[in-house]
Amino acid sequence: MPEQTVPEQTVPEQTVPEQTVPERTVPATVSAFHPDGSAVVLRDDGLLVDVDAAAVRLGGWRFLRPGQRVRLLGEPGEPVRKVAPPC
């Protein structure tokens, strides 16, 4: 008698929805804007933060004025990812 093979059953792969953690948003005031597009901002908690030109551009800014209010987006302990308009 020939040996019968049982077809292998495939179980559909289950995907777990990726949980996204909202970025931290910190209000701040522009202290200085540099010709290279980078900036220094003063967070509302009193900490001065250097922001690179890429983060400024990502927020849609061409330039910032000292005293202008902005929001800083990113994760704690990492460089600012984006300089966004205030709410």
More confident call, 12 vs 57? 57
- Residue 64: count other Cβ atoms within 10 Å of its Cβ: 22
Determine the CATH number of domain 24-84. 2.40.50.140
Mean pLDDT (whole number) for 17-41? 85
pLDDT in tens, 39-87: 999 999 999 999 999 999 999 999 999 999 999 999 988 999 999 999 8
Amino acid code (one letter) for 26: V
* Residues comprising the chain, all counted: 87
Which DSSP state fits 5? -
pLDDT score recorded for residue 23: 72
Residue 36 pLDDT: 97
**45 Cβ partners below 8 Å, 6+ apart?**
26
Range of weakest confidence among 10-14, 22-26, 45-49, 61-65: 10-14
| Domain ranges for the chain | 24-84
